[in-house]
Amino acid sequence: MSLEMLGYLGGFLVTISLAPQVIKSYKTKSTKDISIVYTIILLIGLGLWVMYAILNGIIPLSIFASIEFLFTLSLLILKMIYK
Amino acid sequence: MSLEMLGYLGGFLVTISLAPQVIKSYKTKSTKDISIVYTIILLIGLGLWVMYAILNGIIPLSIFASIEFLFTLSLLILKMIYK
Protein backbone atom coordinates (compact mmCIF):
# COMPACT_ATOMS: atom_id res chain seq x y z
CA MET A 1 0.00 0.00 0.00
CA SER A 2 1.38 3.43 -0.92
CA LEU A 3 1.84 6.09 1.73
CA GLU A 4 -0.84 8.23 0.12
CA MET A 5 -3.32 5.33 0.23
CA LEU A 6 -2.55 4.90 3.95
CA GLY A 7 -3.50 8.54 4.57
CA TYR A 8 -6.70 8.30 2.52
CA LEU A 9 -7.76 5.02 4.15
CA GLY A 10 -7.13 6.50 7.61
CA GLY A 11 -9.07 9.64 6.70
CA PHE A 12 -11.93 7.57 5.28
CA LEU A 13 -12.21 5.43 8.43
CA VAL A 14 -12.03 8.45 10.77
CA THR A 15 -14.70 10.17 8.64
CA ILE A 16 -17.20 7.29 8.63
CA SER A 17 -16.49 6.24 12.25
CA LEU A 18 -19.33 8.36 13.64
CA ALA A 19 -21.92 6.75 11.31
CA PRO A 20 -22.49 3.66 13.55
CA GLN A 21 -22.69 6.00 16.57
CA VAL A 22 -25.36 8.17 14.92
CA ILE A 23 -27.30 5.04 13.83
CA LYS A 24 -27.10 3.55 17.35
CA SER A 25 -28.25 6.81 19.01
CA TYR A 26 -31.10 7.13 16.48
CA LYS A 27 -32.27 3.53 17.03
CA THR A 28 -31.96 3.39 20.82
CA LYS A 29 -33.20 6.98 21.34
CA SER A 30 -30.77 7.13 24.25
CA THR A 31 -27.76 9.43 24.39
CA LYS A 32 -27.22 10.02 28.11
CA ASP A 33 -23.70 8.50 28.07
CA ILE A 34 -22.57 10.80 25.27
CA SER A 35 -20.84 13.98 26.37
CA ILE A 36 -22.43 17.09 24.87
CA VAL A 37 -19.14 18.97 25.46
CA TYR A 38 -17.41 16.38 23.24
CA THR A 39 -19.91 16.85 20.40
CA ILE A 40 -19.76 20.67 20.60
CA ILE A 41 -15.93 20.87 20.66
CA LEU A 42 -15.71 18.34 17.80
CA LEU A 43 -18.28 20.28 15.77
CA ILE A 44 -16.40 23.58 16.17
CA GLY A 45 -13.04 21.92 15.37
CA LEU A 46 -14.43 20.24 12.24
CA GLY A 47 -16.10 23.50 11.18
CA LEU A 48 -12.72 25.27 11.34
CA TRP A 49 -11.13 22.41 9.38
CA VAL A 50 -13.79 22.63 6.67
CA MET A 51 -13.09 26.38 6.33
CA TYR A 52 -9.32 25.78 6.34
CA ALA A 53 -9.56 23.02 3.70
CA ILE A 54 -11.89 24.97 1.41
CA LEU A 55 -9.84 28.19 1.67
CA ASN A 56 -6.66 26.21 0.90
CA GLY A 57 -8.30 24.23 -1.89
CA ILE A 58 -7.51 20.88 -0.22
CA ILE A 59 -10.28 18.81 -1.82
CA PRO A 60 -9.95 15.46 0.07
CA LEU A 61 -9.88 17.18 3.48
CA SER A 62 -12.83 19.40 2.48
CA ILE A 63 -14.90 16.32 1.66
CA PHE A 64 -13.82 14.21 4.66
CA ALA A 65 -14.22 17.07 7.16
CA SER A 66 -17.62 18.11 5.74
CA ILE A 67 -19.02 14.57 6.01
CA GLU A 68 -17.69 14.18 9.57
CA PHE A 69 -19.13 17.63 10.41
CA LEU A 70 -22.58 16.45 9.27
CA PHE A 71 -22.33 13.22 11.32
CA THR A 72 -21.31 15.25 14.38
CA LEU A 73 -24.15 17.72 13.83
CA SER A 74 -26.59 14.78 13.57
CA LEU A 75 -25.24 13.35 16.84
CA LEU A 76 -25.56 16.74 18.57
CA ILE A 77 -29.18 17.06 17.38
CA LEU A 78 -29.94 13.50 18.63
CA LYS A 79 -28.24 14.37 21.93
CA MET A 80 -30.49 17.44 22.29
CA ILE A 81 -33.67 15.51 21.37
CA TYR A 82 -33.01 12.38 23.50
CA LYS A 83 -31.51 13.80 26.68
CA MET B 1 -6.28 34.80 12.09
CA SER B 2 -3.98 33.26 9.47
CA LEU B 3 -5.09 30.26 7.44
CA GLU B 4 -2.43 28.10 9.10
CA MET B 5 -3.70 29.10 12.56
CA LEU B 6 -7.22 28.10 11.48
CA GLY B 7 -5.97 24.61 10.59
CA TYR B 8 -4.02 24.21 13.83
CA LEU B 9 -6.91 25.46 15.98
CA GLY B 10 -9.31 23.08 14.22
CA GLY B 11 -6.85 20.20 14.66
CA PHE B 12 -6.35 21.07 18.33
CA LEU B 13 -10.11 21.14 19.02
CA VAL B 14 -10.75 17.88 17.14
CA THR B 15 -7.86 16.27 19.06
CA ILE B 16 -9.00 17.29 22.54
CA SER B 17 -12.73 16.79 21.83
CA LEU B 18 -12.71 13.21 23.14
CA ALA B 19 -11.23 14.27 26.51
CA PRO B 20 -14.59 15.33 28.05
CA GLN B 21 -16.14 12.10 26.70
CA VAL B 22 -13.45 9.94 28.33
CA ILE B 23 -13.81 11.90 31.62
CA LYS B 24 -17.61 11.53 31.54
CA SER B 25 -17.43 7.78 30.83
CA TYR B 26 -14.84 7.32 33.59
CA LYS B 27 -16.92 9.27 36.14
CA THR B 28 -20.35 7.80 35.33
CA LYS B 29 -18.99 4.27 34.73
CA SER B 30 -21.68 3.97 32.06
CA THR B 31 -20.97 3.58 28.35
CA LYS B 32 -23.99 1.72 27.01
CA ASP B 33 -24.97 4.55 24.63
CA ILE B 34 -21.52 4.60 23.04
CA SER B 35 -21.13 2.50 19.90
CA ILE B 36 -18.21 0.06 20.14
CA VAL B 37 -18.13 -0.08 16.32
CA TYR B 38 -17.52 3.69 16.32
CA THR B 39 -14.61 3.45 18.75
CA ILE B 40 -13.00 0.54 16.87
CA ILE B 41 -13.27 2.17 13.41
CA LEU B 42 -11.97 5.47 14.81
CA LEU B 43 -9.06 3.71 16.51
CA ILE B 44 -8.01 1.90 13.31
CA GLY B 45 -8.37 5.09 11.23
CA LEU B 46 -6.30 7.12 13.70
CA GLY B 47 -3.69 4.34 13.88
CA LEU B 48 -3.28 4.52 10.08
CA TRP B 49 -3.04 8.33 10.29
CA VAL B 50 -0.33 8.13 12.96
CA MET B 51 1.67 5.78 10.70
CA TYR B 52 1.05 8.01 7.67
CA ALA B 53 2.09 11.17 9.54
CA ILE B 54 5.23 9.62 11.07
CA LEU B 55 6.36 8.03 7.78
CA ASN B 56 5.82 11.38 6.00
CA GLY B 57 7.47 13.37 8.79
CA ILE B 58 4.36 15.53 9.32
CA ILE B 59 5.03 16.52 12.93
CA PRO B 60 1.77 18.35 13.85
CA LEU B 61 -0.43 15.55 12.47
CA SER B 62 1.74 12.92 14.23
CA ILE B 63 1.18 14.67 17.57
CA PHE B 64 -2.53 15.42 17.08
CA ALA B 65 -3.36 11.94 15.76
CA SER B 66 -1.33 10.18 18.50
CA ILE B 67 -3.12 12.09 21.28
CA GLU B 68 -6.54 11.39 19.72
CA PHE B 69 -5.53 7.73 19.30
CA LEU B 70 -4.80 7.52 23.05
CA PHE B 71 -8.14 9.16 23.97
CA THR B 72 -9.95 6.72 21.66
CA LEU B 73 -8.08 3.76 23.13
CA SER B 74 -9.04 4.96 26.64
CA LEU B 75 -12.68 5.20 25.58
CA LEU B 76 -12.60 1.69 24.06
CA ILE B 77 -11.10 0.29 27.29
CA LEU B 78 -13.80 2.08 29.36
CA LYS B 79 -16.44 0.72 26.95
CA MET B 80 -15.12 -2.82 27.49
CA ILE B 81 -14.96 -2.44 31.30
CA TYR B 82 -18.35 -0.73 31.79
CA LYS B 83 -20.61 -2.51 29.32
Interface pTM (ipTM) of the complex?
A: 0.94
CA B55 to chain A, closest CA, distance in angstroms equals 8
Which residues neighbour A74 within 8 Å (Cβ) at sequence distance 6 or greater?
A: A22
B9 contact residues in A (CB cutoff 8 A): 45, 48
pLDDT at B1: 73
Q: Vertex B20, ends B18 and B49: CA angle to 5°?
A: 10
Mean pLDDT of A64-76: 97
**Residue in A3, A31, A46 nearest the CB of B14:** A46
pLDDT digits (tens, 9 = 90+) for B24-40: 999 999 999 999 999 99
What count of residues does chain A have?
A: 83
Report all structural domains of chain B as residue ranges with CATH numbers, in order of start: 3-81 (1.20.1280.290)
Residue A41 CA to residue A76 CA, distance in Å, equals 11
A66–B contact, CB cutoff 8 A: no
Counted across chains A and B, CB pairs separated by less than 8 A come out at 126
Say yes or no: A5 contacts chain B, CB-CB below 8 A. Answer: no
